[in-house]
A and B are shown apart, each in its own frame.
Chain A
Amino acid sequence: MRVLVLAATLAALSAGAALAAGALEVVPEAPAGSTEVKIAKMKFATPEVRIKAGSAVTWTNTEALPHNVHFKPGGSVDKELEGPMLRSNQTFSVQFNTPGTYDYICTPHPFMKGKVVVE
């Protein structure tokens, strides 16, 4: 089991390293100082957040209905990033390496919209 966990961690690390070159970098868990966005009642509770380049945003779904975070190509987003569906109390963190405005939606609920402004 430990071997499997180690292998998974290595895979995650190498994936992270590969993504680090891009503007958006999925990070395995909420880094210290990451900005929180809660998801509740079919909304991103803080639909617009402002952060410094190199810092991260962590989304937490607080309801039973699954949601995700989905960046479509366009604007500052050069490569699509479709986050996994989050069940209740699950989190997802993205580090933003390049200044810009990053619009996102929830894949099955496209009327749920949010924005990360990276300075």
Chain B
Amino acid sequence: MMTHAYAPLRHAFRYGSSALSAAALAALMAAGPVAAAEPGSAAKQAADLAAGKADDPVVLKAPAPNARRVYVYDPKHFAAISQSFIIDGDTARVLGTADSGFMGNPIVASDGSFFGHANTVFSRIARGKRTDYVELLDSRTADPIADIELPNAPRFLVGTYPWMTALTPNNKTLLFYQFSPQPAVGVVDLAGKKFDRMIEVPDCYHIFPSSNDTFFMHCRDGSLLKVSIGADGKSQTKRTEIFHKENEYVINHPAYSPKNGRLVWPTYTGKIFQVDLSSQEAKFLPAIEAFTEAEKNDGWAPGGWQQVAYHRDSDRIFLLGDQRAASKHKAPSRFLFVIDAKSGKRLSKIELKHEIDSVGVSQDAKPQLYALSTGARTLFIFDPETGKEMSSVNQLGAGPQVITTSDM
């Protein structure tokens, strides 16, 4: 932690807590052995103090990111300035924070090398001249490594949907959605650090990159749209068949695994559509029902913000669900349903014992399950195998909603 007030960085990494008073240090020194003290701990500091070692304040770096690096984005209930918390899932500690603007869209590179946001700021906090830009931050220092302005304020300002802003698999291009004055997708050349162009699209939403120059969208008529970006600046689009009925409402937070091209898209009732985009064509897999007819009659349905997560290696779907009244689909859930994506079989039902709004999963072999409570402002970390809560991280801003991990 930067205990001395000389560090002007907007974004900050910190470890442990070194801001203990001398009295507390003395108490800790008296309290126990210091030999096994972890770096940065109060015991370590006490030992350093006892050994006469001078305090040497530095700006810390985070360790190299791994599969258990979790980003929690807090839009702060539509506040003009938002915040991301950078968390180490292994130790359940906050490594740092990063500021962003109004309704930012968090992104993280698939190799973990950088993270960032598509941002919107105004010259007078929440009014005045509007500037939209993409900011990339180094994943160890949180220092800006790119700041790319987007002309004509094209960002879609909406409650944060992760797939409204997406990276291509090679992390060299960022795509973002424009809603008004017409549907379009902006192309940002991250490698060249410049805005490239807007691609006009039909009335379709979300962006799921399946290759470095191809992405899919979901259209108002219930089809998907394949968009080939085209190196010559001429994009091509092609619609798929209509894959869901008009009264099957797919949620705003589908899960998508760019590494195997799997799109997992639940409806309000827990019917789960799956599409395999890995061949650059949409292959529609058989739909799954998360709940039995009896359960649906008892009011069971998905609900929350990020209601679904997908683990690529084990081909498993994690779906938040609870008994709820109709039209309460954004209320949190107390249960998590683990479903085999191939067979549709329910593998387990985990009682989370908290009101959970968003779910995420690390993509390593023995994954951690991340369950975020917007109301409690706490990230709970579970073992999805046993359903046991392992740890938690609290005080995550004002209204944290979005979990982002990278599939390394």
Contacts and interface: CB of A to CB of B under 8 A. Distances in A.
Contacts of A105: 181-182
A97 interface: no
A29 B180 CA distance: 28
Interface in B161-213: 179-183, 202-203
Counting chain B CB atoms within 10 Å of each CB, which of A72, A107, A111, A113 scores highest? Answer: A111
Contacts of A72: 181
Interface residues of B, number: 8
Contacts of B179: 110
Contacts of A67: none
A110 B183 CA distance: 7
B220 interface: yes
A113 B180 CA distance: 12
A70 B182 CA distance: 11
Chain A CB within 10 Å — which of B179, B180, B181, B220 has the most? B181
Interface residues of A, number: 7
Contacts of B203: 110-111
B183 A111 contact: yes
A111 B182 CA distance: 7
A70 B181 contact: yes
A interface secondary structure, majority: strand
A64 B183 CA distance: 24
A72 B203 CA distance: 18
Interface in A63-119: 70, 72, 105, 107, 110-111, 113
A72 B183 CA distance: 14
Contacts of B180: 107, 110
B181 A110 contact: yes
B120 to A, nearest CB: 18
A79 to B, nearest CB: 14
A111 B203 CA distance: 5
Contacts of A113: 182
Contacts of A107: 180
A117 B204 CA distance: 27
A107 B179 CA distance: 10
A56 to B, nearest CB: 23
Nearest to B220: A111
Nearest to B181: A72
Contacts of B183: 110-111
A63 B181 CA distance: 22
Nearest to A113: B182
A107 B180 CA distance: 7
Interface of B: 179-183, 202-203, 220
Interface of A: 70, 72, 105, 107, 110-111, 113
8 contacts: A70-B181, A105-B182, A110-B179, A110-B180, A110-B183, A111-B183, A111-B202, A113-B182
